[in-house]
Structure 1
Amino acid sequence: MSVKSWAAGTQCVAKGDHRKPKSGELAFRKGDILTILDADMGKGYYKARHNVTGEEGLITSTSVREREAIRIDPSLSLMPWFHGKISGPEAVCKLRPVEDGLFLVRESIRHPGDYVLCVSVSGEVIHYRVMYRDNKLTIDNMQYFYNLIDMIEFYSKNKGSIATTLLKPKEKEGAKSAELELSKTGWLLDIRRLTLGETIGEGEFGAVYEGEYMGQKVAVKNIKCDVTAQAFLQETTVMTKLQHKNLVRLLGVILHNGLHIVTELMVKGNLVNFLRTRGRSVINSVQLLRFALDVCEGMEYLESKRFVHRDLAARNVLVSDDSVAKVSDFGLTKVDSKASDHAKLPVKWTAPEALKKEFSTKSDVWSYGVLLWEIFSYGRQPYPKMSLKEVKEKVEEGYRMEAPEDCPPGVYSLMKSCWEKEPRRRPSFHKLREKLDRELGKHSPSPGATGIQHPLFLPD
């Protein structure tokens, strides 16, 4: 059997437990995620780091498998057992041959807005009406659920007031179980290892909590609504493909009470608030350039992978404990495409052609120009005092924002190059990074200090 060879940076999943390591070896448990640090060290050994404990040591290539990215597949479903609007007799047909605990959920035709849980037991199919009461779902007015995912999870473990526990989902034709796919690829995390702390943010989709997963500080986005959770599943599949020091790292997901998306915790919050609360007395132009470069490197990586972010703005850039800026919120990210959808677009950050649904890396470059303006104005709202309607019209007529106060001329000329009307005349992120590197060289206190470390001394 040929020994598998992996490059440094590859993420792997442990196939079994290794709890009594010899000297120099790494301890791990089945399902733990490890990152390869050094290419093959001979005899099938690799140096690796444990993603959660941070410990480093040797592992054998046979004890792990590569953590795969999840294929972006519209048929992946958090609710493969949900069949939509079908009648009772159709449901009975689908649950044949009869088998105890075989089940599906359908929309109620007789009671629009309600659902029906159909379960096969003792050779017949029982239909349980699932009613909406005070924004929650219930079958018996005793047990209440936020959504169908929770309800199915509960009745798969507890019989409650139904005839049998749910043992086997009858999948809708063409639907694939996201849970199975996440588990197979190593992205499904264990709820028992997660401790939730306080809320650090509220979105229209749900809450974001601080938490701890196996000793590592994490941020947890919890999405309770079934439909929204399904949409966020797409964001998650995008994030499994992306690994870069300037992108917020996905640790995995948990399916419990809806969907939990677990990422590294960015202690200092989003960039726009970070800049606003500190201002120019605390942060100098070298540090601003560092942030600009961080974001540019993350976007250059997305560009190389042919991903279009489509919602790049300082509010979607997070700052880590050691003041590294990382791009987050891949909710609108798509593989480079002209596909139109109905997401609400942030007008002040969106390129004119993208407002007509023509997205490309070059429309991300436009947004990056606006983000540069936000950085060098210390988090001001772009196009101050202008309504969205005015912004649309004026920009179309050729209006461009003035340079923020004290903005280096070289940086302002970069902004303007990002705002070229013709997308093809805008620079690539690769070009922007080269120019920012040179700009940083000019502003750094000593010659050759472009590799300046992050300002760790910034006050919290």
Structure 2
Amino acid sequence: MSDNNWVTRQPKLKGESMIWFHGKISREEAEQLLKPWKTGQYLVRDSTHFPGDYTLSVSVSGKVEHYHVIYKDRKLTIDEEGFFDDLAKLVEHYEDDADGLVSNLITPVPKKGYAFKENNVQFHLQNEGWAINRNEIIVGKVLGSGQFGEVKEGEYKSKKVALKAMNESQRNLDPFLAEASIMTQLRHRNLVQLIGVALGNPVYIVLEFMAKGNLLDYLRSRGRAVVTKKQQLDFSKNIAAGMSYLESKKFVHRDLAARNILISEDDTAKVSDFGLAKDDTVMMDSGKIPVKWTAPEAVRKNIYSAKSDVWSFGVLLWELYSFGRVPYPRVPADNVIAYIEEGCRMQSPEDCPEHIYKIMQQCWSFQPENRPTFHRISTQLDSLTPFF
């Protein structure tokens, strides 16, 4: 139920919020800051040779390319074909599309002194136009509970919304608001849309309302008599498309499961719950891990990547085609990793198409590098449409 026409995003105009703008630094300093030169890392600096202009420095395949950003006729341009009102709009364009650059802009290198601490997350949200007037929110019934507190139904500007509320026992807002900060960077039809954040007491993260709840409950409450094979394939394609986008943006979800997929009024599946999401390959502190959904290298070594998300997607597919059964139904959680390391995998759910089970098996390759990318999975699923 995505209706984004009523969401107004204010332009990013304030330099303080542009974490990738480093001001007067040299070409050599820029290249040092961009090390280890991973593809898509970037920063913007004042031009050394052309006062009043800028330089966009982008890493690709172990080197750095520098682009002259020209200020001309009160607009900014790199190629004198696309013109932008300000640096933020220029960066946003090249985040979405390389459009002639060596890579699209993926990971900003933060300017000196910037970190997610104190009020920086709130500052980021306010200065990039995501703070909304809490007086315009009508709070409704409780829908459930999340990592930090309750999730409530609400209304904002005459539209139904979901409200994630900060638990009053949580004193540090930044971990809670980090999810919203991540969502400001992600825009895709198969990701739950952030509408804004209402600061105050309590703090609300305001999200698009997903009328049919989470996928796990959807499957269990409707079952085989209601959920068709076409719906199952459509849900699979929706989720793979959303994850392919996350993969392209170098984000790792880390908690992909049917419980974290939401269903809209028009039966579109969208990935949600970005509370654990991080950029690129990350290490996670030991703690409570959903072992039955988690890749073996993530459980054993706490190393998460897009390929560990792919493993979880295979488990999610198994949930989808078993109509919400708990994975590894006859294996205790404590024994799951040993079971996997012995070469065992879950059997195909009853009536699951062979093509789908093959994708699950590919996702469950023990070596992460042998698993497919989400882009490949999405392409495979798209090709299955004629079979249903």
Q: TM over 0.5: same fold?
A: yes
The one-letter amino acid of 2:366's match is K
Q: CA–CA distance in 2 between the matches of 1:246 and 1:391?
A: 30
Match 1:389 to one of 312, 324, 334? 334
Once residues 335 and 322 of structure 2 are traced to their aligned partners in structure 1, the CA distance between those partners, rounded to angstroms, is: 21
Aligned counterparts of 1:440 and 1:358: Cα–Cα separation in 2: 34
**In structure 1, what is the equivalent of residue 197 of structure 2?**
253
Q: Which has the higher helix share?
A: 2
Pairwise CA distance, 1:13? 1.7
Structure 1 residues 8-48: Cα deviation after superposition (integer angstroms, max 9, x where no partner): 9x974279xxxxxxxxxxxxxxxxxxxxxxxxxxxxxxxxx
Counterpart check, 1:370 vs 2:370: no
Partner of 2:53: none
Paired with 1:75 and 1:14, the residues of 2 have a C-alpha distance of 22
Equivalent of residue 335 in structure 1, options 263, 279, 282: 279
* 2:181 corresponding residue in structure 1: 237
1:205 to 123, 134, 148: 148
Tell whether the 8 Å contact from 1:314 to 1:374 is kept in structure 2 after alignment.
Answer: yes
Match of 1:208, SS state, is strand
For the residue of structure 2 that corresponds to 1:201, the secondary structure is strand
Per-residue CA distance 1:140-174 (angstroms, 9 max, x = gap): xxxxxxxxxxxxxxxxxxxxxxxxxxxxxxxxxxx
Given candidates 10, 13, 17, the residue that maps to 1:13 is: 10
- Report how far residue 226 of structure 1 moved: 3.3
Taking structure 2 as the reference length, the TM-score comes to 0.70
**How far apart, in 2, do the equivalents of 1:189 and 1:72 lie?**
28
1:337 to partner: Cα distance: 2.1
Distance 1:12 1:205, change over 3 A: closer
- Segments of structure 1 that go 5 or more residues without pairing to the other structure are 1-7, 16-60, 81-175, 444-460
Unaligned runs of 5+ in 2: 13-83, 96-106
TM-score (ref. length: structure 1): 0.59
The answer to which structure, 1 or 2, has the higher relative contact order (CA under 8 A, 6+ apart) is 2
TM-aligned CA deviation for residue 250 of structure 1: 0.5
2:383 is aligned to: 438
Q: Equivalent residue of 2:325, what SS?
A: coil
What is the CA-CA distance between 1:239 and the residue it aligns to? Answer: 0.7
Q: CA RMSD in A?
A: 2.7
After superposition, residues 272-291 of structure 1 pair within 5 angstroms as 272-291=216-235
Residue pairs, 1:16-415, within 5 angstroms: 75-77=115-117, 80=118, 176-224=119-167, 225-227=169-171, 229-355=173-299, 356-415=301-360
Aligned to 1:242, what secondary structure does the other structure show? coil
Contact 1:218 1:262 in 2 (8 A): yes
Q: Is the CA contact 1:206–1:223 (under 8 Å) kept in the aligned structure 2?
A: yes
Q: 1:238 to 1:206 in 2, by over 3 A?
A: same
Range that drifts further, 431-440 or 365-374: 431-440
Residues 9 and 130, structure 2, Cα contact 8 Å, conserved in 1: no
Quote the Cα distance in structure 1 between the aligned partners of 2:179 and 2:256: 15
Give 1:199's aligned amino acid.
Answer: V
**Cross-structure match for 1:416:** 361
Q: CA deviation at 1:227?
A: 4.2
> Could you list the per-position Cα deviations for residues 243-262 of structure 1 after superposition, in whole angstroms to 9, with x for gaps in the alignment?
00000001111112242111
Seen in structure 2, the aligned counterparts of structure 1 residues 11 and 227 have a Cα distance that, compared at 3 Å, is same
* Cα gap change, 1:12 to 1:257, in 2 (>3 Å): closer
Q: Which whole-Å deviations, capped at 9, do the CAs of 1:262-291 have from their partners, x for residues lacking one? A: 100101000010011111111111110000
Greater than 6 Å deviation, 4+ residue runs: 67-74
Distance 2:216 2:226 in 1: 15
Q: CA deviation at 1:235?
A: 1.3
Number of residue pairs matched by the alignment: 292
Going from structure 1 to structure 2, the CA distance change for 1:227 and 1:344 (only over 3 Å counts) comes to farther
Q: Shift of residue 230 of structure 1?
A: 2.2
Contact 1:205–1:228 under 8 Å retained in 2: no
Specify the SS of the correspondent of 2:303. Answer: coil
Contact 2:153 2:163 in 1 (8 A): yes
Higher Cα radius of gyration: 1
**8 Å contact kept, 2:292–2:333:** yes
Write the distance in 2 (CA, Å) between the matches of 1:247 and 1:228.
Answer: 26
Residues 178 and 390 of structure 1: CA distance in aligned 2, closer, same or farther (over 3 Å): closer
CA distance in 2, matches of 1:354, 1:279: 32
Partner AA of 2:265 in structure 1: D
